[in-house]
């Protein structure tokens, strides 16, 4: 029986839902971040358009439910039917809250002084890293945020949100422990590479070629099956090396410097290459893209940290993987991508401006003229700084302070015209470091 009391309680719950819905306001009205910490206008617009559409749909549904509840048909319905209809609306509300929280977690920490501006600068770096002239010229909006934990991650654009729906922006999570140095560029551009791989349809092509190679293999077949399982992460590492050079491999070494048991462990269900060989792959990709003795030097340093003789259980497999590495790199770089007009992977990335020789020529800017360094594309600037650190021209402290200033500058430049805001006196070198 649908009593008056039962009807009144459901009606009150629906009205309460409308009130709670009205309290979910746009982020632009609730987050007290400084302008330099704010995400791009395109990212904000995409998020607010998506969320406001969900609120509007739910609000319409609640009003229709209340109209039905007050109509003769609603009065004649059973309490069970009314509760079922209301519960469906409440579940929609909970889904919308979950989706709101996905973006909230990425935006709230930008209100923290210092960290917010860093995040704004990382947005600029990420957008530059994803942009490939002639292939990816209009990348989707990207929002970077710092988080706990040891691993970076990306929620790619148009991937499923909790409860359904597709995210309108890419969300990149960067661990706080990697701020700030080579690791931040390595991790950030690696995650951007996952988005790039999807946009270019790279993985199905590479997986097919690697499976075909494994089918022709002999005793080294386990190595090719490993490469097939790892290709998603390897392609993102390739993206990182192509965009920031040796900075990527240095950062990767910092990330995977773990106790030996983890560095040599091979896990069949892990898409990440075994750390020991992952660094070797990164260095081999660097040698193929930017030939220089530094890559062999890096690989030798890594060997000195973790001699393969210390891996009795996985040594045979890792030896096979390392033996197949030159051919593997050739296959990946030589693969043509239909979504990129048939361009081969190795030709996707601009490389003339980030060869080791070019980066070394720009090295004096790190110490003498940050104003000019800041006018380079962000990934090139990161590559210059990382190259200078590897060559021993600067120490880690100089690297960190330089990158911190650059990130804040890029965040501000993306927000307002820096020259108008600060006059001729504004340069990255003049900005205080928190």
pTM to 2 decimals? 0.86
pLDDT value, residue 418: 37
- Side by side, the strands of the sheet bearing 153-155 are 142-147, 170-175, 153-155
Phi, psi (deg, nearest 5) at residue 136? -130, 90
Strand partners, 145: 173
Segments of the chain scoring below 70 in pLDDT: 1, 29, 114, 149-150, 177-178, 181-182, 416-434
Query: Are 226 and 267 spatial neighbours (Cβ–Cβ below 8 Å)?
Result: no
The alpha-helical segments, DSSP class H, found in 200-220 are: 202-216
Q: What's 272's DSSP letter?
A: S
Phi, psi (deg, nearest 5) at residue 146? -90, 150
Give the integer Cα–Cα distance in Å for 12 and 7: 9
pLDDT value, residue 368: 82
Phi, psi (deg, nearest 5) at residue 399? -60, -50
Domain extent listing, the chain: 4-110, 200-350, 352-430
pLDDT value, residue 420: 43
Query: Which regions of 93-165 does DSSP assign to beta strands (E)?
Result: 142-147, 153-155
392: left (phi over 0), alpha (psi -120 to 50) or beta: left
Give the integer Cα–Cα distance in Å for 390 and 249: 10
pLDDT value, residue 37: 77
pLDDT value, residue 114: 66
Strand partners, 155: 171
pLDDT value, residue 423: 45
Residue with tokens 């021209």: 393
Q: Which of 54-78 are b and which e, b meaning 16 or more Cβ less than 10 Å from the residue's Cβ?
A: bbeebeebbeebbeebeeeebeebe
What is the pairing mode between strands 343-344 and 336-337? antiparallel
């Amino acid at each position: 029986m649908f009593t008056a009391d039962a009807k009144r309680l459901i009606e009150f719950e629906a009205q309460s839902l409308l009130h709670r819905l009205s309290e979910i306001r746009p982020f632009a009205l609730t987050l007290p971040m400084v302008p330099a910490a704010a995400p791009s206008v395109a990212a904000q617009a995409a998020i607010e358009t998506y969320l406001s559409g969900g609120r509007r749909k739910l609000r319409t549904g609640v009003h229709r439910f209340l109209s039905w509840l007050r109509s003769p048909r609603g009065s004649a319905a059973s309490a069970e039917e009314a509760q079922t209809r209301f519960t469906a609306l409440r579940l929609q509300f909970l889904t919308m809250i979950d989706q709101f929280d996905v973006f909230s977690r990425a935006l709230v920490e930008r209100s923290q002084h210092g960290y917010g501006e860093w995040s704004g600068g990382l947005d600029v770096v990420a957008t530059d890293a994803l942009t490939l002239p002639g292939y990816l010229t209009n990348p989707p909006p990207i929002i970077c945020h710092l988080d706990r934990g040891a691993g970076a991650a990306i929620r790619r654009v148009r991937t499923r949100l909790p409860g359904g729906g597709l995210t309108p922006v890419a969300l990149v999570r960067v661990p706080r422990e990697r701020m700030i140095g080579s690791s931040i560029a390595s991790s950030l551009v690696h995650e951007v590479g996952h988005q790039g791989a999807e946009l270019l349809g790279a993985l199905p092509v590479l997986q097919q070629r690697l499976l075909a190679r494994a089918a022709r293999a002999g005793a080294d077949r386990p190595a090719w099956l490993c490469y097939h399982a790892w290709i998603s992460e390897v392609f993102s590492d390739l993206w990182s090396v192509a965009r920031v050079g040796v900075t990527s491999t240095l950062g990767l070494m910092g990330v995977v410097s773990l106790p030996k048991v983890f560095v040599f462990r091979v896990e069949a269900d892990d898409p990440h290459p075994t750390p020991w060989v992952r660094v070797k792959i990164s260095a081999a990709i660097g040698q193929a893209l930017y030939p220089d003795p530094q890559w062999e030097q890096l690989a030798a340093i890594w060997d000195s940290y973790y001699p393969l003789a210390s891996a009795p259980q996985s040594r045979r497999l890792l030896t096979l993987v390392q033996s197949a590495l030159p051919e593997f790199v050739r296959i990946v770089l030589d693969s043509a991508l239909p979504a990129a007009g048939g361009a081969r992977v190795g030709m996707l990335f601009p490389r003339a401006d980030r060869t080791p020789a070019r980066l070394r020529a720009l090295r004096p800017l790190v110490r003498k003229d940050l104003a000019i360094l800041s006018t380079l594309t962000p990934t090139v600037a990161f590559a210059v700084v990382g190259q200078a650190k590897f060559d021993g021209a600067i120490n880690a402290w100089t690297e960190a302070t330089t990158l911190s200033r650059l990130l804040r500058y890029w965040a501000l430049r993306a927000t307002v015209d820096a020259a108008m805001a600060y006059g001729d006196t504004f340069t990255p070198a003049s900005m205080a470091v928190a």
